Amino acid sequence: MRDIPLSRAAPLAAALLALALAPLLAGAFHLRFLAEILLLGTAVMSLDLLVGLGGLVTLGHAALFGTAAYAAAIAALHLGGNLFLVLGAGTGAALLMAALMGVAIMRSSHLFLLILTLLLGQVAWEVAFHWREVTGGADGLRGLPPLSLGPWRLDGPRALFLLSGGLALAAYLLARSFADAPIGRALVGAREQPLRMSALGYSIPRIRFRAMLAAGGIAGAAGSLYPFLNLYVGPQSVHWSLSATMIIMLVIGGVGSLWGAFLGSAIYLALQTYVSAYTDRWQLFVGLVFVLIVLLLPRGLAGGLTGGLAGSLAGVLSRRGRP
Amino acid sequence: MSALLEISGIGKSFGAVRVLSGISLAVSEGETLGLIGPNGAGKTTLFNVVTGFLRADAGQVRFAGAPVDRLPPAERAARGLVRTFQKAMVFPALSLRESLAMAARQRAGQGLRWLGARACHQESAARVERLLAESGLARHGGERMADLSYGEQRIADLLMALALEPRLLLLDEPTAGLSQAEAERLLGIVRRHDARTAIVLIAHDIDIVFNHCDRIAVMHLGQLLRTGTPQAVRQDAAVRAAYLGSLAD
């Protein structure tokens, strides 16, 4: 059996413990809040596949997440809230959007990639905002039926939390397997030495396309469940500013760690939820945290935590080793 | 012996500057061809055209009997037309073993696998360990490429190319910056790996080229000045005047 490094096992164990304890300790509001962190965190983690592994900074990720949210909501409104139907419709729509975006970014990088994804994201937003008959326009879609699985309704905070937790965990394991698989290593290679990768026989466009599909699928699964937290989806969920927010969450949590995405989402949403109760200028605090993280913890909270944990353990072990 | 690589009438200009003009050359299986000439002669540009990193303005490149002019670099590499670059291009964040495995997996057609990845790792591992053992770098297998010495990075770069099991290997100044002993070690690894592999070697170290190559092609100002055995090239008056000078003595 393969050894799992401490930097991966410790957060995974902590996450499993938190998932098990939260339904026993948290109230309805906090369970919904945690579910939102888990779903947005999953989308941010999928962005980490592109940014952290591939160096592909995109401003179109909200388009994947939001397209899935709309597709799931529309499917639920017309066909009911069956969990698998909703997940299938949302993830399928996100995969289609990812394929479109993947084709567009196959041969571009850096600033051009940023602008291309921004433009594609804006196209998705225009559709959501102006196609009133289908998307509800600026008002979005309300009155969604609750999620269900056979005879069980999944609309209580505990059920939504457990569903979001299960999806986040499955998505993390999937993303981790992607990062460790040949395709994940090839994505890192394409980021570091694209010319050398071409000379080794790798098609850089094909690597980018597949990475976009993987990220789109995971973001889409998270986006599929997102409207059912508040039984609403609006055009803000496909707007480019949500993509920028996801990048901020990722930098705060730690680019390249995958699990840091959940920390970044938690910090951002906590500031948004709690600080905004006292002041409208809560984004100033987000900016402050962002600057501090960039200056003091360039590898984000995840890098700081694993570095600190590893340092502490090394310190304890070296003290034990002394006569 | 039939030619593995056939280049005919290759021309290339950058704006008004003509860097390659009417280059025709053939390389046979198992042959080692030295490509020499002063800086700016067009040697690396020729490599770029042959491997698909640049498109020629004129002429044709055929590999293993088929034209490859319209193929991108990755597809040429997949057919066995493999190159290294003037600078060692390694992957700083990956270990030596990971980097070699990446090349070995691509050779096996598994470079972009996601599911069933563990089987891929096992299949490529044996080839990687053989290369590490052959090169004497086995103890550095787990080290990040960024942490290897310059000489080790150059060997690692070469090993990545060898992991693809090339039919033709184009080496662009692989010994630049290496000591004589390191250079001999590097070229020894190439020759021991597979005698059927054809090699085109660009190097400025004349001793290395004359000692290791079956034939030598001399380029000057974008043209092919002479092609022949090391002895014939060494004696050629035009080659001595354009490039070798007193180095030939």
DSSP string, B71-100: S-HHHHHHTTEEE--SS----TTSBHHHHH
- Is A259 in the B-facing interface, judged by CB distances under 8 Å? no
| Residue for token pair 């069956």 | A82
Contact B112 A210 (CB under 8 A): yes
> Is A210 within 8 Å of chain B by CB?
yes
Alpha helices in A80-203 (DSSP H): 83-105, 110-130, 132-135, 157-180, 182-192, 194-199
pLDDT at residue number A310: 62
Q: Does A213 touch chain B (CB under 8 A)?
A: no
Q: Let me know: does A249 contact A265? Beta carbons within 8 Å.
A: yes
Specify the pLDDT at position B180: 86
pLDDT at A1: 43
Partner residue facing A193 (CB), from B75, B83, B91: B91
CA distance A16 to A3: 19
pLDDT band at A58 (very low <50, low <70, confident <90, very high): very high
- Residue A5's pLDDT is 67
pLDDT at A312 over 70: no
Two structure tokens written together for A231: 């039984």
- Asked if A214 reaches chain B (Cβ–Cβ under 8 Å), the answer is yes
Q: Distance between alpha carbon A295 and the CA centroid of its chain, in Å?
A: 24
- Mean pLDDT along residues A241-254: 98
Task: Give the pLDDT mean for A266-287.
Answer: 95
Averaged pLDDT, B169-173: 97
Which tokens go with B55? 């498109």
A190 pLDDT exceeds 70?
A: yes
Angle, helix B150-163 to helix B117-135, in steps of 10 degrees: 130
- CA-CA distance, A9 to A170, in Å (whole number)? 15
Segment A252-260 mean pLDDT: 96
**Prediction pTM value:** 0.91
Confidence band of A7 (pLDDT split at 50, 70, 90): low
Distance CA A17, CA B146 (A): 38
Across the range B55-77, mean pLDDT stands at: 97
The helix/strand/coil state of A42 is helix
Question: Could you read off the pLDDT of A25-53 as tens digits, one per residue?
Answer: 999 999 999 999 999 999 999 999 999 99
Task: State both tokens at B206.
Answer: 């004349």
Integer Cα distance of B50 and B82 in angstroms: 10
DSSP assignment, residue B242? I
With 80 as the cut, is the pLDDT of residue B118 above it?
Answer: no
Q: Does the structure show a pLDDT above 80 at B79?
A: yes
What span, in angstroms and rounded, lies between the C-alpha atoms of B88 and B85? Answer: 6
Work out the pLDDT band at A316, boundaries 50, 70, 90: low
The answer to whether A198 and A204 have CB atoms below 8 angstroms apart is: yes
Contacts of B87 in chain A (CB under 8 A): none
For residue A11, the model assigns a pLDDT of: 75
Q: How far apart are alpha carbons B191 and A219 in whole angstroms? A: 49
* Of the candidates A287, A216, A301, the residue with the CA atom closest to the CA atom of residue A248: A287
Q: Compare B169 and A308 and report the one with higher pLDDT.
A: B169
3-state secondary structure of B58: strand
Q: Please judge whether A196 and B93 are an interchain contact, meaning their C-beta atoms are less than 8 angstroms apart.
A: no
Q: Counting Cβ atoms within 10 Å, is residue B198 exposed (0-12), middle (13-18) or buried (19+)?
A: buried
> Is B73–A182 a contact, with Cβ atoms under 8 angstroms apart?
no
Yes or no, beta carbons of A181 and B73 under 8 Å apart: no
Residues of A in contact with B131 (CB under 8 A): none
What is the arithmetic mean of pLDDT over A215-241? Answer: 97
Q: Would you state the pLDDT for residue A314?
A: 61
CA angle B171, A200, A186 (to 5 degrees): 145
Distance CA B188, CA B90 (A): 21
Instruction: Determine the pLDDT at residue B249.
Output: 59
Give residue A1's identity as a one-letter amino acid code.
Answer: M
| Contact at CB, A202 and B111, closer than 8 angstroms | yes
Model confidence at B187: pLDDT above 50: yes
Q: Which of A188, A206, A207 sits opposite B94 (nearest CB)?
A: A188
Torsional sign, CA A95, A99, A101, A105: positive
Residues of chain A found within 8 Å of residue B53, distances taken between Cβ atoms: 195, 198
**Which pLDDT does position B36 carry in this prediction?**
96
Q: Does residue B33 surpass a pLDDT of 90? A: yes
Residue A210 confidence (pLDDT) above 90 = yes
Mean pLDDT, chain B, rounded, equals: 93
Q: Which of A3-12, A90-99, B53-62, B100-109 has the lowest mean pLDDT?
A: A3-12
A192–B120 CB contact, under 8 Å? no
Could you tell me if B238 and B248 are in contact, meaning their C-beta atoms sit under 8 angstroms apart? no
Residue A183: the pLDDT is 96
Question: What's the pLDDT score for residue A323?
Answer: 45
Map residue B90 onto helix, strand or coil.
coil
CA distance A282 to chain B (A): 37
Contact yes or no for A154/A83 (Cβ under 8 A): yes
Instruction: Find, in chain B, the residue whose alpha carbon is nearest to that of A192.
Output: B91
Is B112 in Cβ contact with A206 (below 8 Å)? yes
User: Of A70, A129, A72, A123, whose CA–CA distance to A101 is shortest?
Assistant: A123
The pLDDT of residue A18 is: 86
Q: Of the candidates B160, B155, B114, B176, which has an alpha carbon nearest to the alpha carbon of residue A197? A: B160
Q: What percentage of chain A carries pLDDT values higher than 70?
A: 93
CA A286 to chain centre: 18
The CATH code for residues B3-90+166-248 is 3.40.50.300
* Distance, CA of B115 to CA of B112 (rounded, Å): 10
